[in-house]
Amino acid sequence: MPTHLRPTAPIAADAVLVGDPGRALLLAQKLLEEPKMSNHARGLWGYSGATPAGHPLTIQATGIGGPSAALVLADLAELGVRRAIRVGTAVGFRDECRLGELLVVGAAVALGGSAGAHGAESGRPVLPEPRLTELLEGELRGEGRLATIASFDAHPGDQSPPEDVVAADMQTAPLLARARALGIEVAAVLIVAELAGAVEGLDRDELEPLEKRAGSAAAAVLSP
């Protein structure tokens, strides 16, 4: 029996993972026909259903930070998930980063203890599943670019990433490290929702269509 999730509907072998429960609801309404709530325990909202093409898909919130995401992924693995794509947000660090940009994660540098707890060496990149990453990049058709990001255990805007890192979040590297140990294929696409040093980021109205676009790309990759 999973430790943290309490499924009330069947869990699909393919899943879209999001940090925010509100994003899980948004994408369930966008991507699934007649979605059913599959988890509400601990506020980690999850939904299961079928895509318009008839492919079973689960959309699951993972909470804030790497430890929460890794625990949720382990529960999902126990429930039968075998492939997943993270749809999240990131803080942009480099001049070429722009608000609203979609970044397909080519590597996630582990810069926090939560990734290290799952075997990732500090300062070293953790790689996503290459085929899912290639398909995700192709599905976005130039709307997203391949990028190296970093994952911290604190808010990325207060951190100093390595020179080759363009953006950072709090989940991707721990999630990829945990996926490797669990034998699950995982890729990620991130929305640049903030810029380091900037006062304001994307507001809700600006973020929502980007969440839907990234989620639609993830669902298309998982629903051949």
Rounded to the nearest 5°, which phi and psi values hold at 115? -75, -40
Residue 142 lies in a domain: yes
Domain that holds residue 93: 14-218
Q: Which residue has the tokens 């808010």?
A: 155
Residue 129 lies in a domain: yes
Residue 151 lies in a domain: yes
Side-chain half-sphere CA neighbours of 146 within 13 A? 14
User: What CATH number should be reported for the domain holding residue 173?
Assistant: 3.40.50.1580
Q: What is the mean pLDDT of residues 211-222?
A: 97
Contact present, 187 and 123 (Cβ < 8 Å):
no
**What tokens appear for 73 in the block?**
């992924």
Residue 223 lies in a domain: no
Residue 4 lies in a domain: no
Beta carbons within 10 angstroms of residue 202's beta carbon:
17
Structure confidence at residue 108 as a pLDDT band (50, 70, 90): very high
Interval 161-190: pLDDT, tens: 788 899 999 999 999 999 999 999 999 999
Q: Where are the alpha helices (DSSP H) in the chain?
A: 21-31, 66-78, 113-116, 130-140, 172-182, 204-222
CA distance 160 to 112: 12
Rounded to the nearest 5°, which phi and psi values hold at 46? -135, 150
Predicted pLDDT at 11: 92
Domain count, the chain: 1
Residue 65 lies in a domain: yes
Residue 183 lies in a domain: yes
Contact present, 49 and 36 (Cβ < 8 Å):
yes
Interval 38-81: pLDDT, tens: 888 788 899 999 999 999 999 999 999 999 999 999 999 999 99
Residue 126 lies in a domain: yes
- Please give the mean pLDDT across all residues of the chain: 92
